[in-house]
Amino acid sequence: MEIPKISVLSPLVTRILGCNPGRFTLQGTNTYLIGKGKSRVLIDSGDGVPEYTNLVAEYVKSLGIEISAIFLTHWHHDHVNGVEPLLQHPELGHCINRDAIYKYKLPGDDKLYPWKVQPFADGQTFKGDGFSITGYHTPGHAKDHLVYWLEEEQVLFSGDNVLGQGTTVFEDLKAYIESLKKMIEIIKSKVGGPSPLVRTYPGHGHYVSDSIQLIQEYIQHRTDRENNIVKVLELHHQDHGVDKPVHASNIVEVIYKDYPESIWLAAERGVHLHLEKLAFEDKVERVSDKWKLKI
């Protein structure tokens, strides 16, 4: 499903597509212009594609507005690489505050970027012209991942923790699951009620109308995958004995037998991360490059 390059999604939220479609970026990286006055902020900056930079410049000029700050969800190139081209654009440089580029700061960030990183802490709030956004540290997809809550419209900007379609990748499954649960608690604490209907604006794909349902589906998907892995280990031990560990690639061959082999290598990475989480929970143990259940 196509996404327009510019979409006014609500009185305070305009989505500007990063013009970088791809296998992992879907229709492209979603960036969001927040506010309705002269001074607005931008969430994420795309991958630095010239078409995107020019698109932002034309839109900002047409509205006669300024970008008072840029808030980044995480360090991945398709979210941060657009910052410098925006700052260097001849029609944008004077419209963007280059001293207000915010992200959850990691050691070494100051050496990574040509612009200065302003730290944005867990629970910190930025008050803009008629709006306020609060950032929450939600690692797992990336160590520095932040989601943002727009108070006035009661909506969540999820970065890459949840997407508009499909599932996302992660670098630390335990942290990722904890972050998904944290996102549910944030929504419930802000809106109240057992299952409030809250919109999520993701880093890729269309917006989602029922955030809690989507996040719960993500958690359930990971729980099901973990149960599948444990079941494969149990069956392997029944057939070969508890002292015979199994390689992650062999687990993939069982779980993903109905999927194209072209995705097995990527699936193996996910299985490894599941096994590492299970090892942390003392449910499995690693034997060289193989795994077995902890008895």
CATH number at residue 150: 3.60.15.10
227 and 157 together in one domain: no
Last residue of a domain, one of 163, 181, 209: 209
Domain-embedded: residue 28: yes
189 and 241 together in one domain: no
Least confident of 45-54, 57-66, 167-176: 167-176
pLDDT of residue 294: 84
Last residue of a domain, one of 209, 238, 270: 209
137 and 236 together in one domain: no
Phi, psi at 164, each rounded to 5°? -75, -15
List the one residue out of 134, 163, 137 whose CA is nearest residue 29.
Answer: 163
Last residue of a domain, one of 209, 237, 272: 209
Residue 27, beta-bridge partner list: none
115 and 34 together in one domain: yes
Residue pair 83/101 in contact by the 8 Å Cβ criterion: yes
> Quick one: average pLDDT of 155-173?
93
> Quick one: average pLDDT of 97-110?
93
Which H helix or E strand runs over 77?
A: helix 77-80
186 and 224 together in one domain: no
Least confident of 3-17, 54-68, 86-100, 230-244: 230-244
245 and 118 together in one domain: no
> Quick one: average pLDDT of 15-32?
94
Domain-embedded: residue 115: yes
Please report, to the nearest 10 degrees, the dihedral formed by the alpha carbons of residues 178, 24, 111, 82 taken in order.
Answer: -120
Please give the model's pTM, rounded to 2 decimal places. Answer: 0.92
> Quick one: average pLDDT of 177-192?
94
Q: How many domains does the chain have?
A: 2
> Quick one: average pLDDT of 40-62?
97
Residue pair 137/145 in contact by the 8 Å Cβ criterion: yes
260 and 190 together in one domain: no
Whether the per-residue pLDDT at 174 is higher than 90: the answer is yes
138 and 43 together in one domain: yes
Work out the mean pLDDT of the chain and round it to a whole number: 93
Using CA atoms, how far apart are residues 79 and 168, in angstroms rounded to an integer?
15
Using CA atoms, how far apart are residues 5 and 172, in angstroms rounded to an integer?
32
* Residue with token string 């989507």: 214
203 and 279 together in one domain: no
pLDDT of residue 24: 84
List the one residue out of 217, 203, 213, 173 whose CA is nearest residue 31.
Answer: 203
Using CA atoms, how far apart are residues 43 and 148, in angstroms rounded to an integer?
9
SS3 141: coil
Domain-embedded: residue 158: yes
Domain-embedded: residue 121: yes
> Quick one: average pLDDT of 46-68?
96
232 and 203 together in one domain: no
Q: Going along the chain, which residue ranges are E strands?
A: 6-8, 13-17, 30-34, 39-43, 66-71, 101-103, 118-119, 125-127, 132-137, 146-150, 155-159, 200-202, 246-247, 284-287, 290-293
Residue pair 31/16 in contact by the 8 Å Cβ criterion: yes
pLDDT 10s digits, 241-258: 767 889 999 999 999 999
CATH number at residue 239: 1.10.10.10
> Quick one: average pLDDT of 276-284?
92
91 and 110 together in one domain: yes
Whether the per-residue pLDDT at 193 is higher than 70: the answer is no
CB atoms inside a 10 Å sphere around CB 240: 12
Domain range for 148 is: 6-209
163 and 265 together in one domain: no
pLDDT of residue 168: 87
Domain-embedded: residue 214: no
Whether the per-residue pLDDT at 195 is higher than 70: the answer is no
Cβ contacts of 140 within 8 Å, gap of 6 or more: 161, 170, 171, 172, 173, 174, 175, 176, 177, 178, 179, 180
